[in-house]
Amino acid sequence: MSADMSYELSAKTEQQLPVRRKDKALKLARKLAGQKYLQIMALLGVAWMIIFNYIPMYSVIIAFKEFNIIHSVHDAPWVGLEHFREFLDDDELPGVIWNTVGMSVLKLIIAFPLPIIFALFLNELRSLKLKKFVQTISYLPHFLSWVILGGILTTWLADVGFVNHLLMALGIIDEPISYLAEPSYFWSIVITSDIWKELGWSAIIYLAAIAGVSPEMYEAATIDGAGRFQKMWFVTLPSIRSTIAILFILAVSGILNSNFDQILVLRNSLNESASNVIDVYVYQTGIISSRYSYSAAVGLFKSIIALILLLGANQVSKKLNDTSLF
């Protein structure tokens, strides 16, 4: 090809580029116009996130200042890492970390697999009416606040409550037990009630993933002579493996997050040694004691650890399962 022909082709291409860009812009404009109501809803969500999640992030600098409500964030004096050192030197820190990590790890071990198992068995129900009934009953507690459920649990677990009456009638215990007054029972109560409230709701995403499994895979397994449990193990579970991995990564990153509402309604002065977690500690120091800078430092410390756990779990999942968030 001669130099003149190459020059003519490149010139034509350069002339066509603005036209192509204009066509793409027009197509995009038409698409957005056709989706204007969806775009408005999306923009409202983005605006809400910016206003309530991103703009307040500026105030995280109070973790490095001595802030009080009399002065503005800008005028508060800098103290550097003083609040972080104070937190790490606090005598309550070992107990707070132990309670937070202990309950979260137990929830990860016990509560995380249960929605997967529940979704697998729920998917195997032949009767559609029974399936809908079980699913509705299972996720109904999710829509009740912990204030309501906490009141129910407090009544059930009282000395004269339903649980003590049932256990005494069955001959399992001889005298009533004040479960919420005993620190040794608190973790079990928290984990059990969390499973009760969130089991059905957490299973929905797994049921959605199972619904996307190709029926041809089940037909092939049937031809090979696989039973129902073999299909679950060799077809369904591998097909939703990526969904499980993503949710597991998010669960690991939230190990330092305890269910604040749940803990707050179930804790009392008698079980304080087992119920004092990081979120409650931040609430007590920040809101009740008005130590805003100190509580901001503790919250920032927790967020940094959560980020490290997220990155670590993401890398491990990428290497072992070839699935990751990013």
Asked whether the predicted pLDDT for residue 197 surpasses 90, the reply is yes
pTM for this prediction:
0.81
Instruction: Please provide residue 65's backbone torsions phi and psi, each rounded to the nearest 5 degrees.
Output: -130, 170
- Residue 321 burial (C-beta neighbours within 10 Å; 0-12, 13-18, 19+): middle
Tell me if residue 78 falls in helix, strand or coil: strand
Tell me if residue 65 falls in helix, strand or coil: strand
Give the angle 224-228-229 at the CA atoms, nearest 5°.
Answer: 105
- The rounded distance, in Å, linking the Cα atoms of 44 and 123 is 36
- Answer for the pair 256, 104: CB distance below 8 angstroms, yes or no: yes
Residue 261: name the closest of 197, 205, 202 by CA.
197
Q: Is the dihedral of CA 311, 316, 317, 319 positive or negative?
A: positive
- The rounded distance, in Å, linking the Cα atoms of 95 and 14 is 68
Q: What is the pLDDT of residues 58-74, one digit of tens each?
A: 888 999 998 888 878 88
Instruction: Please report which confidence band the pLDDT of residue 145 belongs to, taking 50, 70 and 90 as the band edges.
Output: very high
Strands (E), the chain: none
Q: What is the pLDDT of residues 11-23, one digit of tens each?
A: 555 555 565 677 7
Give the CA-trace dihedral at 307, 312, 318, 321, to 10 degrees. Answer: -110
Q: What is the pLDDT of residues 119-141, one digit of tens each?
A: 999 988 888 888 889 988 998 99
- Share in percent of the chain as helix, strand, coil (round to 5): 75, 0, 20
